[in-house]
Chains A and B, each alone.
Chain A
């Protein structure tokens, strides 16, 4: 039986510590890990909890992130509750096995501390790794602060392990900005947290020798397509279950999560759509602009990046006039991927708001309240003019001359 951990009602934790406490409270059976900055403390702390008797689990040391996720696949298929953490280059090296895990329908929880991808080498936060995972068949939840990194990690086990879901889940937090920033965190008592997550109930576990099963079989053109279609349907069908888990979490914590979060959107004329910590900074800007200049600004945030909440995005934004979608990842010769997804949803609305794209914050470049205000004011200018008055894609916070691409053909 695990040792009792001394926990206060109010803690001051950074995002990494918060995530590691969720792994302890969920009593994760196996963590196979190859630590990488800035996610290192998550698995390091898990190892110390095991060593000090706070978890009845096993830390598996491996030689790479590819092996880390492979170890997780093996342990999950064997029938254990499994988790690990990674960032950036480690995530990239894991990518091949991410598709294996989701294809085998293994409910592994991966804590991703978002960090830029090299080259140039950079340890700081942007969403390049998060975007790299977007077609991997995993559920992707996004935390905007340390409290949420903890809360969503607990929810992730419940969601992924649900027998009508059986999919791996990533919980994203911003490298350094969340992972290394200590803030007030209000954890659940151990027994409340564990009872919320529940006992792990394996399906088709390989250690059940009375009922042998195969994982990782080969299917060619005869059945591969059907498998992938079912996997996609499972992701789409996980939406109401995610909603249900969030509703149950509110009952035990008082904290309510939604797949799309809306702030000050009831009467908003202009909006910023964002991911991660930027959401909260933009919320401050919206509030201040409303008080200072009477600009009806609001923020829409994507809590559940996959499955992408196409319908909820549409509902939350269809009545605004102008929307800025903020991509914290280098778009590599296209419009930002997030911009494209939000735009596609808005294209199917009667009002079709004006949508512009900002590339910002790469490699940890600071995103300030004043920059968020400037972006809101640009949206206001578009709304007043009735058409986009700037380049459709712009870089925000970039040193040197203005960089932007494409102009509107409307208006």
Chain B
């Protein structure tokens, strides 16, 4: 079982990101779960979204998890939300930021000593450049594909294209570019 927790603000697309990831994972024959825990259900409010991925049907419906991956798609939430909550000793963090990894960890004491499990990528800037507005969910998916090694990039892109097929071509192209750039830039 792989468990993922997304930290996001309502409107940044963590719920769509979690569902999109679930959609692609399911095409590989795995079982998935994608759900969210909304706070005050207003745009901009902090929220958490979750994924579970397993080879067998997923029976656990609890919100509680010890995540294998923590994906933070809002730069400020890395500081203000408790992103290490219920972490395991192998939890990997992918955090959107314009800072270097060293600068980021310097400001977040709870990440100290976990340098080899922390990865950074500027999802906000990447989405501004490729999609034209701040929708950091798509780039985060690209970064996750790279760090987790769960898929080949081409396989993931091909299936995301299908998930997004109802959108105009320009938006699909922007998302593909965002995923690819984050895949290459995450470090």
Q: Interface of A with B (CB < 8 Å)? A: 10-12, 145, 174, 176-178, 180-184, 277-278, 280-281, 283-284, 366-370
B34 touches A281 (CB 8 A): no
Q: Nearest residue in B to A182 (C-beta to C-beta)? A: B34
CB-CB < 8 A to A174: which residues of B?
61
How many Cβ-Cβ contacts under 8 Å join chain A to chain B? 61
Interface residues on B, range: 20 to 34
Which chain B residue has the least Cβ–Cβ distance from A276? B61
Chain B residues in 8 Å Cβ range of A176: 35
Given A10-B26, A12-B26, A176-B35, A182:B19 Cβ within 8 A: yes
**13 more CB-based (< 8 A) A-B contacts, given A182-B19, A183-B32, A369-B64:** A12-B22, A12-B32, A181-B34, A181-B35, A182-B18, A182-B33, A183-B34, A183-B58, A280-B59, A280-B61, A366-B62, A367-B62, A368-B64
Query: Are A284 and B64 in contact (CB-based, < 8 A)?
Result: no
Q: Is the Cβ of A183 less than 8 Å from the Cβ of B60? A: no
CB of B170 within 8 Å of the partner chain: no
Interchain CB contact under 8 A, B60 and A12 = no
CB contact under 8 A between A12 and B64, given known A181-B34, A182-B32, A284-B59 = no
12 residue pairs A–B, Cβ–Cβ below 8 Å:
A11-B26, A12-B23, A145-B61, A177-B61, A182-B23, A182-B33, A183-B31, A183-B32, A184-B31, A184-B32, A280-B59, A284-B60
Cβ-defined partner of B22 (8 Å) among A182, A367, A368? A182
B36 at the interface (CB under 8 A from A): yes
B residues within 8 A CB of A283? 59
Residue of A nearest to B18 (CB): A182
Q: Is the CB of A183 within 8 A of B64?
A: no
Please tell me if the beta carbons of A366 and B63 are within 8 angstroms of each other in the complex.
yes
Closest to A179 in B: B35
Nearest CB to that of B19 among chain A residues? Answer: A182
Q: Which of A178, A184, A368, A369 has the most CB of B within 10 A?
A: A184
The interface residues of chain A lying within 8 Å CB-to-CB of B18 are 182
> Measured between C-beta atoms, what is the minimum distance from A132 to chain B in Å?
23
Chain B residues whose C-beta falls within 8 Å of the C-beta of A11 in the assembled complex: 26
Chain A residues within 8 Å of B60, by CB: 280-281, 284, 369
